[in-house]
Amino acid sequence: MNKKILQIAVFSILTLSSLLLFIAFYNKKNPEAVMESSNKYLLQKSDNLKITKIAVISDTHLNEESFKFLLGFLNSNPVAAIIHLGDHTDFGDLKSLKLSKSYLDSLNVTYYSLAGDHDIAETSSLSNFSQVYKTTKYMTINDINLTFINNPFNYTPFSTLEFDEILRSISNADLILTSQPLFVPKDNFFSYKYMGSMDDVANLSPTKQILLKEYNSQGQTLLSKIRETQKQLLIVSGDHHRSATFTDPANSLITYHITGALAKNIYLGSKQYSQKALQSPRFSIIEIYKNSEGQTQFKIKEQIIENWFKFGIT
95-143 pLDDT tens trace: 999 999 999 999 999 999 999 999 999 999 999 999 999 988 989 998 8
Beta strands in the chain (DSSP E): 36-38, 52-57, 81-84, 111-113, 138-141, 144-149, 175-178, 233-237, 244-247, 254-258, 265-268, 271-274, 282-290, 296-304
Q: Which residues of 6-36 are buried (b: 16+ CB within 10 A; e: fewer)?
A: eeeeeeeeeeeeeeeeebeeebeeeebeebe
* DSSP code, position 236: E
Domain 35-304 belongs to what topology?
Purple Acid Phosphatase; chain A, domain 2 (3.60.21)
Residue 1 pLDDT greater than 60, yes or no: no
- 16-30, 250-264, 289-303: which has the highest mean pLDDT? 250-264
Q: In the prediction, which pLDDT does 310 show?
A: 34
- pTM to 2 decimals? 0.86
Distance between terminal CA atoms of the chain? 36
Contact (Cβ atoms closer than 8 angstroms) between residue 278 and residue 242: yes
What is the Cα–Cα distance from 221 to 170, expressed in whole angstroms? 12
Residue 313 pLDDT greater than 70, yes or no: no
